[in-house]
Amino acid sequence: MSRGKICSLEWISRPLRRGVLATKLRHCSRNAIGVQTASDASINGDQEEHDLCNWDELKFSFTPTDYMYVMKCSSGESAFSQGHLTRYGNVELSPSSGVLNYGQGLLEGLKAYRGDDNRIRLFRPEQNALRMQMGAERMCMPSPTAEQFVSSIKQTALANKRWVPPPGKGSLYIRPLLLGTGPILGVAPSPEYTFLAYASPVGNYFNGPMHFSVEDKVYRAIPGGTGGIKSITNYSPIYKAITQAKAKGFTDAIFLDAETGKNIEEATACNIFVVKGNVISTPPIAGTILPGITRKSIIEVASWLGYQIEERAIPLEELINVDEAFCSGTAIAIKPVGSVTYQGQRVEYKTGEGTVSEKLCRTLTGIQTGLIEDTTGWVVEIE
C-alpha cells in the first residue's frame, strides 16, 4: 500500500433448570429472585428500570436479565412444539449432545430499541428467522417457523422490557440459539433439538473508528464451508488471529478470501463496505460471507439516498484508493474504519461528520428507534 496517509506500524436433553443466576456486576446489578412462572406481574415489565443499571457506563458485555424463551423439537418429530418463557438460568446438557461433541448449533443476534416515545421496537426479526432456517437446512437441523421465531423474540423482549436501555443509551441484545441437544455418539445429526433466546442490555461494541490489520495466513471461511451461515463453529477458529491483532493495538482483523488470498471478505463479526465518490461497494454473498441483515438494510437505504451500490470482489490493493470504509453488523451497527494496516503500511480514511457512513448510520438508527418514519415495514413495535 502506498497511497493515502501511510505510516509504519507502531501502534496500534433435559428441561432447563429453573434456578436463579445471581451475579454481582460492576455496572449493572439485579436482585436475587425466587422461582416464578411466566404469569408473574414482572413479566409484563411492571418494575421500573430506574437504578437497574448505570446506563451511561453500559458496554457490550453480558448482563443476565429476567427471562429466556425455550422451545423443543423432540426425537421423532420434525417441528418445534409450542415454547414458553422461563426464568433465565443454566441449562443441562447430556455430555454426548450433538452440540457439545460435534458443534451442531446456530446462533442469531438482534436488538430491541427504546424510542423517545418509550415504545420498544425490533428491527426486521423475520430476516433473522429466515437466516436461521437457511443455516438449519445446511446443518441438518429442524428450525422454528418464522412465526414461532418472531413470537419468541417478541416475548423475550417484552418479558425483559425493564432491561431495554433508555433512548440513546444502548439496546437490548437478544441472542437466539438453535442447538442439537439430544445424545449422539456417532457422527450424525442430533436426535433432539432446543431453541432458546436470552437477552442482555448492551452499549457500543466499539467506541470510535475501527482500525484493522489484514490477516493473510488464517482464513475465516472456505468455499463450500459454513461461512455463509451463523454456525457456532465459525468463530473460535479465528480467536488466535484476532487476539494477535488486538495485542498489536488493532480493533480487529480483516480476513481475505481463501481461494485467491487477494480479496477482502469480512472482519470477525461484521461486513465491510468501501466508498469511492458516489459508489459504495461490498463483497458479494457467495457462500463464504454472512448475509448480514444490517448489510442488506444498508444497501437498500443507500440506494434510496442516491448512492450507486456494487456487490463485487474487492481486491486488497483497492483499499489504497478508496475515500472511506465502514463496517456493519447487528452488534456494531455501522462503524467507520479509521485505518487498515498491511505488512507494516497503514492507510487512513475519512471519518466523522459528513461521511457516507455517518449519513447511513443516522438514517438507519433513526428508523430503528422511531425517529424516522418506517415506510418499509422493517420495524416491529412490541409495545
- pLDDT for 176-198, tens place per residue? 999 999 999 999 999 999 999 99
pLDDT at residue 44 tops 90: no
Written as one string, the DSSP assignment of 250-301 is -SEEEEEPTTTS-BEEE-SS-EEEEEETTEEEE---SSSS---HHHHHHHHH
- At 20 the pLDDT is 34
Q: Which three cell numbers stand for residue 149?
A: 421465531
Work out the mean pLDDT of the chain and round it to a whole number: 89
- At 319 the pLDDT is 94
- At 3 the pLDDT is 40
DSSP 8-state secondary structure symbol assigned to residue 211 = E
Average pLDDT over residues 128-157: 98
Least confident of 5-14, 44-53, 133-142: 5-14
- At 28 the pLDDT is 53
Q: Which three cell numbers stand for residue 138?
A: 445446511
- pLDDT for 286-324, tens place per residue? 999 999 999 999 999 999 999 999 999 999 999 999 999
pLDDT band per the 50, 70, 90 thresholds, residue 31 = very low
pLDDT at residue 11 tops 80: no
pLDDT band per the 50, 70, 90 thresholds, residue 52 = confident
pLDDT band per the 50, 70, 90 thresholds, residue 137 = very high
- At 48 the pLDDT is 59
With beta carbons less than 8 A apart as the criterion, state whether 89 and 20 touch. yes
**312 C-beta neighbours (distance < 10 Å), count:** 9
pLDDT at residue 4 tops 90: no
CA 299 to chain centre: 18
- At 78 the pLDDT is 85
CA distances from 307 to 121, 303, 323, 364 (A): 27, 5, 14, 15
- pLDDT for 323-335, tens place per residue? 999 999 999 999 9
Average pLDDT over residues 244-253: 97
pLDDT band per the 50, 70, 90 thresholds, residue 50 = low
Q: pTM of the predicted model, to two decimals?
A: 0.88
With beta carbons less than 8 A apart as the criterion, state whether 364 and 111 touch. no
With beta carbons less than 8 A apart as the criterion, state whether 338 and 9 touch. no
CA distances from 85 to 5, 71, 119, 123, 155 (A): 53, 9, 22, 21, 8
Burial 205-224 (b: 16+ CB within 10 A, else e): bbeebbbbbbbeebbbbeee
Q: Which three cell numbers stand for residue 183?
A: 445424545
pLDDT at residue 262 tops 50: yes
pLDDT band per the 50, 70, 90 thresholds, residue 7 = very low
**Where in the sequence numbering do the catalytic residues fall?**
230
Helix (H, G, I), strand (E, B) or coil at 116: coil
Residue owning grid cell 438507519: 364
Structural domains of the chain in order of their starting residue, each with its CATH number: 67-203 (3.30.470.10), 210-369 (3.20.10.10)
- At 14 the pLDDT is 35
